[in-house]
Amino acid sequence: MNEKQKSTQDPDPPGRTGGLGPFRSSRARPLAALLACGLAVIVAFHVLLVAGAPWGAAAYGGSQTGQLPTELRVASAFQAAFWLLAALTALSRGGLTTGPLWSAFSKRAVWVLTAVLVVGAVINAASSSNWERFGWAPFVLALAILSLRLARSPINVPVGIEDAPLPRSNGSI
């Protein structure tokens, strides 16, 4: 292969990443997608609690049966926003969303998310609510494991203009 062919060759050939396009590593992608889907379940749960779903026994230690009071609905709204941000962070860490701020933020934020999920799993396991102890605790623990694996995975960075090889001139105009 001559020098000209090397310079125009794709910096990330499909065989190296399993054909997933211009990403340097593909291991984090499925982890990020699974984690984001799991976090979306939590977001949906809290949105439904805000909307008045009668699932108080499955939230906040099971202290409320039926619909939540206004204060806890407001708390659920904030939790829905937090978990949505967490899902976007996971997607960014997996290289499924782009943006320099997200990439820089997501590297460390996924570690924080892992810690939050571990604490959440422990709190749910200690709850007096059977829904939280036997439903949410294992679910959140599984999300914590996915988050840990995502945090430890190689960084997925789309190949941008600054990373792409520059075409070489043969000296003629």
- Helix 70-93 × helix 137-152 angle, to 10°: 30
Note the Cα 145 to chain centre separation in Å. Answer: 12
For the chain, give the number of residues.
173
User: Distance between CA atoms of 96 and 115, rounded to whole angstroms?
Assistant: 22
In the chain, the percentage of residues whose pLDDT exceeds 90 is: 59
Candidates 120, 9, 104, 15; CA nearest to 61 is: 120
pTM metric for this prediction:
0.74
pLDDT (tens digit per residue) in 20-62: 444 445 678 899 999 999 999 999 999 999 999 999 999 999 8
Which structure tokens are listed for 71? Answer: 């204060």
Mean per-residue pLDDT of the chain: 81
User: Distance between CA atoms of 50 and 152, rounded to whole angstroms?
Assistant: 34
